[in-house]
Amino acid sequence: MRKFIAPWINLLVPGAGLILLRREWLGLVLAVLFCLCAQIGLWGLFIVPASVPGWITGSALAGAGLTWIGAQYTLVIRLRRAFGPGIAREILHLCESAEEAIAAAAYDRAEELLLVALTLNDEDPRVNTLWAQLMTALGRFHHARRAWKRVVQVAHDDPERRRAIEALAALP
C-alpha cells in the first residue's frame, strides 16, 4: 500500500513519501527545506515584494524547485531498492527458513528471521501470517491478536483473510 501512496504524497509534500518508506530523517529534512524555501520565495513574491530583494526571492524559489526535484528522484531510487526483485526473493527465502524453524520448534530462530522479513516489508501477507502463527505458538496472545488483525488488513485473497478471522476468534 505504501508503495502506491508514497509517490502521490511526495508530489504534494516533497519528502513525505520518503517518510512513509522509512527514510524518516531524510524525508523530514527535505520537507522542511522545501517548506522554508517555498515560504521565503512566496513571501518575497506576493506578500512583501518591496521588502525582500529579488535575488533572495529567486534563490528561495529555485531552492524549493531543486528540493522538490531532489525529493522525487530520491523517492524513485528508494522505491527501486525497497521493492525490487532482490528484496522479494530475500523475503521468500526468509519465509521458507522461518517455516522450517517453526516446524522444528526453533522459535527463537523463526522470530529472528521473521523480524528481518518484517523490516524489509511489513505489508507482505505471508510474512504477517507467519508472524501471527509464531506469536500464537509462543502463547503471546496480545501480540498474536495484533498480528492476525494485521493479516486481515494486508491479505489480498479471501481464504487468507478468512483464516485470519477464524484464528482471531479462536484466540483466548
The CATH number of whichever domain residue 149 belongs to comes to: 1.25.40.10
Number of domains in the chain: 2
User: In the predicted model, what is the mean pLDDT of residues 122-136?
Assistant: 93
Query: What's residue 156's pLDDT?
Result: 81
Cell triple for 66: 531543486
Q: Which amino acid is at 13?
A: V
Q: How confident is the model at residue 55 (pLDDT cuts 50, 70, 90)?
A: very high
- What number is the average pLDDT over the span 86-113? 95
Share of the chain above pLDDT 90, in %: 83
Q: Rounded to an integer, what distance in angstroms lies between the CA atom of residue 161 and that of residue 37? A: 46
**This model's pTM is above 0.75:** no
**Residue 169: its pLDDT value, please?**
93
Q: What is the DSSP letter of 51?
A: T
Range of 68's domain? Answer: 2-82
Same domain membership, residue 6 and residue 78: yes
> Pseudo-torsion of CA 14, 18, 23, 27, nearest 10°?
10
Task: Indicate if the pLDDT at residue 50 is higher than 80.
Answer: yes
Same domain? 61 vs 38: yes
Of the residues 82, 103, 123, which one is the last residue of a structural domain?
82
Mark whether 107 and 159 lie in a shared domain: yes
Cell digits for 75?
Answer: 523517492
What pLDDT score was predicted for residue 157?
A: 82
CA dihedral 168, 144, 83, 76 (to 10 degrees): 100
